[in-house]
Structure 1
């Protein structure tokens, strides 16, 4: 999947999200699936749920938080977004459920 820097995403409202230690578990009751996020995924997920940031803003967040270069941040973010979007957990910001 390809994403533009200006694209914005939000999380579906009907997901059950539980924090366990420094991880998050997301339950999709409609799809009978469970997803676990590591620390980097937790950071991104919380920001997405907070204010639907752009892809560029999420890349910058990863760069600043983990002191990584833009290319690595972009690669990590796009893999994260692709996985969550393929699983149906994210919506483009202007979409409705």
Structure 2
């Protein structure tokens, strides 16, 4: 996985922000997922931009974090979303 990839959301996932945090429902598995404040910011940036490099740039401007730490954390987060079937990544 790399920052040049594009995010595609699964058609079966519904997202709703509740009290500043994102709640996701996967209609296929009927599982709920709760995202904390940072996870919510990542999800919203993915919805807005779609390409991981742009998501990364947005988060880098939003948070006081080292570039390497952000990249590692972002890619780990995306990997978990992919494993859960909530998003897919493809070359841009």
**Alpha-carbon shift at residue 66 of structure 1 (Å):** 0.7
TM-score normalized by the length of structure 1: 0.82
Q: Pairwise CA RMSD of aligned residues?
A: 1.6
Query: Normalization by structure 2: what TM-score?
Result: 0.86
Q: After the TM superposition, which segments of 4 or more aligned residues of structure 1 sit over 4 Å from their partners?
A: none
- Which of 72, 76, 79 does residue 73 from structure 2 map onto? 76
Is 2:35 the partner of 1:37?
Answer: yes
Which string of whole-angstrom CA distances, capped at 9 and with x for unpartnered residues, describes residues 37-81 of structure 1? 11111111112123312x222222222111111111111101110
- Secondary structure of the corresponding residue to residue 5 of structure 2: coil
Unaligned runs of at least 5 residues, structure 1: none
Larger displacement relative to structure 2 (85-94 or 70-79): 85-94
Residue 13 in structure 1 maps to residue 37 in structure 2: no
Task: Report the 3-state secondary structure (helix = DSSP H, G, I; strand = E; otherwise coil) of the residue aligned with 1:8.
Answer: strand
Within 1, Cα distance between the matches of 2:62 and 2:33? Answer: 23
Which of 23, 26, 37 is the matching residue for 1:25? Answer: 23
Unaligned runs of 5+ in 2: none
Match of 1:25, SS state, is strand
